[in-house]
């Protein structure tokens, strides 16, 4: 009777190894930024994004989901995608702004914490095809990608003022998108275990080739487009709803054009 109880009190090793790897990557990003190695810091955050995508899938594939793993993953996400990106961008450029700089970094961190708390409380009720608000890994990729591209292209040496303003705005916008109610595709409905056409495999190969051409610029651009896709879809949806309401009003008030070929009465 004691052995089953001991097994229940244990934790699953495999998925939590990936989660711990994400925690290590987030912590390393902070240490690298403190030592002014911002390119390594940005890469470490992207490594944390990869491990974050793997731990949940590995847990589902091996049937090793647990409440411990879910809580551990949430805490690691706060470090890797809330605290680490904010500190990296602050030490990279926002520290030059003074109080406004660390306030922008704090807004990002607080937004990540609120986003994760809301996600945990709504995980059983929301549509899994969509995220409510920008996911914290995507927001972290936007900020870390900016640092990576800026370091690679020497923005601080050539465009100090514009880089400072851009980093300040992007950090706040990324934080605001996380706590917004704008919907984003989660891509969790993709079937990775089913058969796909040969063209799909070729497309995946081309994506890897495209990313390897210029990893910092391509990854930053992709996540920036993903971050903008939510507001863009929201604007398109609002415009369609506005046009639909206008058409309904016209029908109600009789402002639609009459058919000239219709016979006249009276």
pLDDT tens digits, 2-43: 444 444 566 788 889 999 999 999 999 999 999 999 999 999
* pLDDT higher than 50, residue 62: yes
**What pLDDT digit, counting tens, does each position of 33-44 carry?**
999 999 999 999
| Long-range contacts from 5-11, C-beta under 8 angstroms, 24+ separation | 11/66, 11/68, 11/69
Number of folded domains that form the chain: 1
Q: Is residue 66 part of a domain?
A: yes
Considering the domain boundaries, does residue 262 fall inside one?
Answer: no
Q: Is position 167 within any domain?
A: yes
Q: Residue 116 class from Cβ within 10 Å (0-12 exposed, 13-18 middle, 19+ buried)? A: buried
Range of the domain at 23: 11-188+206-253
CATH of the domain at 68: 1.20.120.1760
In a domain, 65, yes or no: yes
> Does 237 reside within a domain?
yes
In a domain, 4, yes or no: no
Specify the DSSP element, H or E, that contains 132: strand 130-132
> Are 74 and 34 contacting, i.e. CB atoms less than 8 angstroms apart?
no
User: When comparing pLDDT for 117 and 251, which is higher?
Assistant: 117
Tell me what pLDDT residue 186 has: 81
Residues 6+ apart with CB under 8 A from 191: none
On whether residue 201 sits in a domain, the answer given is no
Look up the pTM and report it: 0.85
The 10 Å Cβ neighbour count of residue 121 is 10
The pLDDT of residue 158 is above 70: yes
Q: How much of the chain exceeds pLDDT 70, in percent?
A: 87
The answer to whether residue 97 sits within a structural domain is yes
Q: Report the C-alpha gap between 29 and 256 in whole angstroms.
A: 62
pLDDT of 35: 96
């Amino acid at each position: 009777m004691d052995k089953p109880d001991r097994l229940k009190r244990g934790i699953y090793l495999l998925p939590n190894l990936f989660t711990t790897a994400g925690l290590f990557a987030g912590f390393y990003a902070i240490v690298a930024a403190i030592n002014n190695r911002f390119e390594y810091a940005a890469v470490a955050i992207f490594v944390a994004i990869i491990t974050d995508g793997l731990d949940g899938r590995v847990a589902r594939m091996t049937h090793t989901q647990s409440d411990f793993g879910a809580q551990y993953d949430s805490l690691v996400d706060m470090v890797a995608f809330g605290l680490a990106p904010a500190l990296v961008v602050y030490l990279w450029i926002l520290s030059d702004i003074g109080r406004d700089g660390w306030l922008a970094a704090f807004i990002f961190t607080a937004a990540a914490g609120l986003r994760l708390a809301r996600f945990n409380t709504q995980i059983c009720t929301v549509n899994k095809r969509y995220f409510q608000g920008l996911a914290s890994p995507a927001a972290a990729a936007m900020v870390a990608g900016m640092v990576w591209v800026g370091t690679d292209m020497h923005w601080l040496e050539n465009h100090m003022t514009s880089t400072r303003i851009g980093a300040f705005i992007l950090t706040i916008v990324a934080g605001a998108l996380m706590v917004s109610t704008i919907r984003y595709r989660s891509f969790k409905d993709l079937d990775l275990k089913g058969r796909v056409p040969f063209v799909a495999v070729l497309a995946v190969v081309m994506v890897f080739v495209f990313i390897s051409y210029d990893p910092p610029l391509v990854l930053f651009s992709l996540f920036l487009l993903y971050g903008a896709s939510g507001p863009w879809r929201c604007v398109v949806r609002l415009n369609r709803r506005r046009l639909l309401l206008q058409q309904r009003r016209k029908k109600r008030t009789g402002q639609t054009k009459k058919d000239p070929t219709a016979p006249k009465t009276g």
